[in-house]
Amino acid sequence: MLLTLLKSKIHMARLTACEPDYEGSISIDADLMRRAGLLEHEQVDVLNASNGARLTTYVIKAPAGSGTIALNGPAARLALPGDAVVILAYAQFTPEEAATHTPIIVLMDEHNNIKPTTEKLNKG
């Protein structure tokens, strides 16, 4: 049996753009993707804390250091720039792996900077 657990979370990032004419997905700053352990094209859930919308999409890489968090395509109609979002990725684990798994949690400030407390959270 495999269990599906939270792999990583980007908590309360701010959307920098909503591009409805783009083909789809969520663009995330490459540095932030690396920090959260996200891969390009990985499936994620996006929870809009500003309006309650939830959606599933995939990640595409935005330029490193840009601070970009952008919803693209039809999903862009579920948000506005400045909305606070939570981005969740999951992975499957055996029960033995699940017993020792700790997800990566990246806390963001209102300017899409990583909060220093993130390091303490990820050390267990």
Which amino acids are annotated catalytic?
Answer: 25, 58
Q: Produce one character per residue of 55-91: b if its CB has 16 or more CB atoms within 10 Å, e if not.
A: bebebbbbeeebbbbbbbbebbebbeeebbbbbbbbb
32: its two tokens: 């932030």
Beta-carbon contacts of 22 under 8 Å, excluding residues fewer than 6 positions away, are: 72, 73, 76
User: Which residue in this structure is represented by tokens 């979370």?
Assistant: 9
Q: How far is CA 108 from the centre of its chain?
A: 11
